[in-house]
Amino acid sequence: MKKIIVLLLTAGAVLLSCKNQKSENSQAKVTENMNKTIYDYKVEGLDGGEINFADFKGKKILVVNTASECGFTPQYADLEKLSKDYPEKLVIVGFPANNFGGQEPGTNKEIGAFCEKNFGVTFPMAAKVSVKGDDTAPIFKFLTKKELNGVKNTAILWNFTKFLIDENGNLIDSFISTTKPTSESITKYLK
């Protein structure tokens, strides 16, 4: 009987130790993820180059998932205006995505030509990515998951969802598609 009690106590201690170790490992992983900023990300540019978010340290960054055939596509003009109005304070980075209604069917080259011809876009544009689903780009996982960005979970419901990042690479807030880039809810952070 004594042997059974000793074995049970030993097994319980081992299980408790394993549980504590697993909890510590989970906490370490959460802490590691929480220490990430947008500066930890590099993405392919629309022109084939690289966009390194660490190059934008000291400025706010507005990340927008874009599409060429969307009802919100005219927001490109407001995004360009915003980038011209606050060149010392803000960098806008567009991410073409075909996740909603097939509204970004073009190639990177076609998207670039469309943006330049129709809206005179001069701000950085990333190569086409996925912003939701199993193939979500890592930067959008960071932007949409509180466990990674430390601020909030955001469900991207449509094209032209916006994410505002502070001068230290941390998420400030996200804005739904109907929020115009030049709205006070965004520009109040730039004044």
Q: Nearest to residue 129, comparing CAs of 56, 41, 61?
A: 41
The one catalytic residue among 64, 70, 91, 115: 70
Are the CB atoms for 172 and 189 separated by under 8 Å? yes
Q: Alpha-carbon distance 43 to 95, whole Å?
A: 10
Residues 6+ apart with CB under 8 A from 41: 53, 138, 139, 142
3-class secondary structure, 173: strand
Q: Is 70 a catalytic residue?
A: yes
- H or E element at residue 31: helix 2-34
* Amino acid found at 66: T
Task: State the CB neighbour count (10 A cutoff) for residue 148.
Answer: 17
Q: Alpha-carbon distance 2 to 10, whole Å?
A: 12
- H or E element at residue 174: strand 171-175
Are the CB atoms for 62 and 93 separated by under 8 Å? yes
Catalytic residues: 70
